[in-house]
Amino acid sequence: MKKILLLIFTCINLLCYSQWNNGNIAFNQPRANIAFVDSNTFLVAGGQSWSTGGTNVSIVQLAHLYNISANQSSILAMNTPRLEPIMVRGDSGIYIIGGVSNWGDVNGNGWLYENTMELYKDGNFTQMSIPFSTADGHAVALNGKIIVAGGLKYWKWYQNAADVIGETNLWIYDEATMVWSSIPSTDNRFYSSAVTDGNIAIFAGGLSMSSNPSSILDGFSVSGAYEIYDSQTDSWTTGNLGPGSARAKISACYCNGYFVFAGGAVGNNIGSPRIDIFDGTTWTNQNMANGTRAVEACATAGNKILFAGGLQHDLTWHYGGANLTNRIDIFDSQTQTFSYGNLNRPLMDFRMAGYGRRAAASPGVSFPGGNYTAFNDVQIYEDASWVNSVKEIPQNNVLLYPNPTNENITISAENLKGVITTEIFDLIGNKLQITNENIISLSDYAKGIYIFKVAYGDRVEEVKVIKE
């Protein structure tokens, strides 16, 4: 009876949340990046800030710590201004990597790309040097390593196009030793996607380039190549997504056993409808319904991946493009199907992050009435069905017992020869523990419902566990 009442209360409480909630930070600050500190707090850092009326734009070192439940933000300051920095939440804190700090023609060498990064933790930013410079790329964190797939490292206007050079190495940072290493991408490319399940990371697509192209697509070609890093064996493998897959600016996220790669740019102002899905063993592909685009950003919330916004990417400026959209393609990992929604306006120049059942989008840019307009709103999504969809009794061959429990819980998987990895979350989505132990003590946990995410072999199970 106690179990039934607790579940009913939980369901009622979750249904009180709407799926989308909007808030604001203090400044109109697009081209920033975003990462969750915990399930209730995220950090928006860098970008460009516009004064009232859209004049006096500048690259900023401002950061905003946003509290979701209080619907309030506080202003912080990084050490260095950063336009389009790369951000990722690692074991040591949130890393803010690279970015453009000056978009003038600095000493005749174009924009100044930062060869520094900052680590945010407990309200403080610590800056340190890095052996490369880049912006507008992606990074993942897995098992104590940060891996960066770079974007541009040089931009200067040349005749009728941007003269650009991309960062074509994959850079690996060991959080314990604080040492960087690198490997070259398989086909000398940048603008790769980056996604991880916590054990492997996949870097797919991008633009392959010669050492110094003079103008747009002079020496560039879109790529369908990928690299997979296995953190358990510290090894790399390579492959190709197959015919018709070559594209840059792919948006990629992971959810419950599925790596999903959506959209991209196949040429200047030409988008791709392609979606590639990897289940850990097999690659499949399909097309997005109703249009082609380079998706602006994606994030995982609960059992869903949100692929939001985007446009036909401009590869002359390497910025902006045509046919801006507010569309969201929503991948449901439980059914492996897509549904569709909308942001509150067509949007570009924003980034997304996810944590537990929540995802958040940083401020972006739109064109109401044809006018370039920067916004200061943040959009927050909650998958209110997440806990309700989690099983009380697992399927397949995994077993958790006793459940309910008042102290220990044992996890076993039939015929498994390998490691079981278990992540424990509360109902808000805070990750409380990650362990490879098969007997887990809950003696220090308060009474209530917890979500156990159990990864074994090529499968992932999410199970409700009740602590009495």
- Look at residues 325, 351, 327, 357 and name the one whose alpha carbon lies nearest to residue 341: 327
| pLDDT for the residue numbered 6 | 40
Q: What are the phi and psi torsion angles at 233 (to 5°)?
A: -110, 0
DSSP string, 342-370: E-SS--BS--EEEETTEEEE---EE-GGG
- Please, is 66 exposed, middle or buried when counting C-beta atoms within 10 Å of its C-beta (0-12, 13-18, 19+)? buried
| pLDDT for the residue numbered 122 | 94
| pLDDT for the residue numbered 399 | 84
Q: What is the pTM of this model?
A: 0.83
Q: Which residues contact 242 (CB under 8 A, 6 or more apart)?
A: 224, 283, 285
- Look at residues 273, 270, 271, 269 and name the one whose alpha carbon lies nearest to residue 261: 273
Residues in the chain: 468
| pLDDT for the residue numbered 183 | 98
Under 8 Å between Cβ of 143 and 231: yes
- Look at residues 424, 412, 423, 422 and name the one whose alpha carbon lies nearest to residue 449: 424
Type of residue numbered 299: A
Measure the CA angle with vertex 163, ends 157 and 169; round to 5°: 140
Q: In which residue ranges of the chain is pLDDT below 70?
A: 1-18, 51-56, 210-219, 386-397, 414-417, 458
Q: Which residues pair with 72 in a beta bridge?
A: 67
CATH class of 390-467: mainly beta
Tokens describing residue 317? 């400026």
| CA–CA separation, 387 and 303 (whole Å) | 9
Other C-beta atoms closer than 10 Å to the C-beta of 317 total 15
Strand extents, DSSP E, 57-168: 58-59, 62-67, 72-77, 86-89, 94-97, 100-102, 112-113, 116-121, 124-129, 138-142, 145-149, 152-158, 161-166
- Collapsed DSSP state (helix, strand, coil) of residue 57: coil
Q: Per residue in 121-142, is it b (16+ CB within 10 Å) or e — as a string? A: eeeebeeeebebbbbbbbbbbb
| Domains 19-387 and 390-467 are alike in CATH topology | no
Under 8 Å between Cβ of 360 and 379: yes
The fold of 19-387 is Neuraminidase (2.120.10)
| pLDDT for the residue numbered 17 | 42
| CA–CA separation, 60 and 50 (whole Å) | 10
Spans of all domains in the chain:
19-387, 390-467
Q: What is the largest CA-CA distance in the chain?
A: 75
Type of residue numbered 330: I
Measure the CA angle with vertex 83, ends 293 and 295; round to 5°: 10
